[in-house]
Amino acid sequence: MSSSLLHPPSHLPPGTALQLSQQAPGILGNSTGAVSSSFFQSILSAPETPELWITYENLLLSCLRTGDDESAHQCLGRLVNRFGDDNERIMALKGILKEADADGPATLDTVLKEYDQILQDNPTNIPILKRRVALLRSTGQISKSVSALISLLDISPTDAEAWAELSDLYFSQGLYSQAIFALEEVLVLQPNAWNIYARLGEILYISSKSSGNAGQLVEALKRFSRSIELCDGYLRGHYGLKLTAKQLLSDFPAGLSNRIDSDGFAVPDVTTLKRLDEMATEKLAEIVRRSSAGERGWQGYDEAEIKATRELLESGSSETIR
């Protein structure tokens, strides 16, 4: 996980976000906010880089997250100075700022009405459409946000992020088959996304647990295997593979070999499942061992994931000791 300010901060742990937002006074004080568009001054001063503006945007999001509204407003001021008020992305950032400053449902309603106003003037303003969906979801109006998202996808069907958000919305409501469909659309658009294969496997596993559908379990196995094919030693992929293989072995100890999948893919038999389980366990054990030993080149893993893997391995090994 990169902690640099060049990447969007929404996935960072709180400690890193605090650290980044504390750089705000330094970065804002470093350069004046003045950006001149006159010819001579742009020759004399240092050339502006795209990284500068990306840094401002991510700094703004980090500051809003940690509650540093003062610096956030300053960042927004500089961005507006450079790009103007009519830029779609700037309008979305202003909307985020207003949502963060809002102190009650009435203010949030006003923000929503403003979004609707902007969309009346320009119905294909994608960043504002996304903000509207996010605000509806945040205020709990899930069905409206789903319909808003579906209309966004009608306008722009190749937006993988929107399909992923739709899948997450459906999953949060327990509508697993729709979530699976939406995630498959994401995969059509981004066929090499190994983490999305793992996510799809996870949703299939959860769905098969609640509905008892063994075909979904087999498909989860396929998805996790594909994620491992795309990414050597993928922790999440191996974890899911181990869980699904164990589940299949315990649900169907005699094997499912007489069933052929919908894709014509033969369901693996018991020996194959056992070998998959062993292979996944071995790989997981190696990852946990090397990463906890602090070996260089194995430190990219997330701590929580390593802890969960350790627990899985311990629970698995205790079963065999009778």
Partner 1 sequence: MTWISKITTAFGILLLADACYSAYEHSVLQTHRAASLSSLAASHNAPSSSLPIDITIETIVATFIVCLGIVLGTSNLRPIQWRVWAGKIEREGEAGFLNNNGEVEKDYVGNPFRLLESRPGFVDIRKQRKEFAEWVKNK
Using CB under 8 A, which of the segments 25-33, 131-139, 255-263, 273-281 binds partner 1?
131-139
CA dihedral 199, 200, 206, 208 (to 10 degrees): -160
Candidates 28-36, 202-210, 214-222, 228-236; binding stretch for partner 1 (CB under 8 A): 228-236
Judge contact between 17 and 65, C-beta under 8 A: yes
234 binds partner 1 (CB under 8 A): yes
Q: Which stretch, 32-40, 212-220, 245-253, 296-304, contacts partner 1 (CB under 8 A)?
A: 296-304
Distance CA 150, CA 152 (A): 5
Stretch that binds partner 1, among 39-47, 77-85, 92-100, 269-277 (CB under 8 A): 92-100
Q: What Å distances lie between residue 99 and 20, 112, 297, CA to CA? A: 21, 9, 41
Among 142, 160, 270, 313, binds partner 1 (CB under 8 A): 160
Residue 99 or 277 having the CB closest to partner 1: 99
The Cα 136–Cα 114 span in angstroms is: 13
Classified as helix, coil or strand, 260 is: strand
Q: Does 172 bind partner 1 (CB under 8 A)?
A: no
- Strands of the chain (E only): list them: none
* Position 137 contacts partner 1 (CB under 8 A): yes
Smallest distance, partner 1 to C-beta of residue 302, A: 9
Of 29-37, 164-172, 244-252, 261-269: span binding partner 1 (CB under 8 A): 164-172
Smallest distance from partner 1 to CB 236, Å: 9
Residues with Cβ within 8 Å of residue 89, at least 6 apart in sequence = 57, 83, 127
Q: Is 204 one of the binding residues for partner 1 (CB under 8 A)?
A: no
100 is a contact residue toward partner 1 (CB under 8 A): yes
Nearer CB in complex with partner 1: 53/298: 298
Residue of 155, 314, 181 whose CA lies nearest to 166: 181
- Does the protein bind partner 1 through residue 5 (CB under 8 A)? no
Is residue 232 within the footprint of partner 1 (CB under 8 A)?
Answer: yes
Q: Give yes or no for residue 299 binding partner 1 (CB under 8 A).
A: yes
For 294, residues 6+ apart whose C-beta sits below 8 A from its C-beta are none
Query: Which own/partner pairs from 80-83 qualify as long-range (CB within 8 Å, at least 24 positions apart)?
Result: 81/33, 81/34, 81/35, 82/35, 82/53, 83/53
Work out whether 11 is an interface residue with partner 1 (CB under 8 A).
Answer: yes
In the complex, least distance from residue 192 CB atom to partner 1, rounded to whole angstroms: 7
Per-residue mark of binding to partner 1, 38-77 (x: CB under 8 A): -----------------------x--xxxx----------
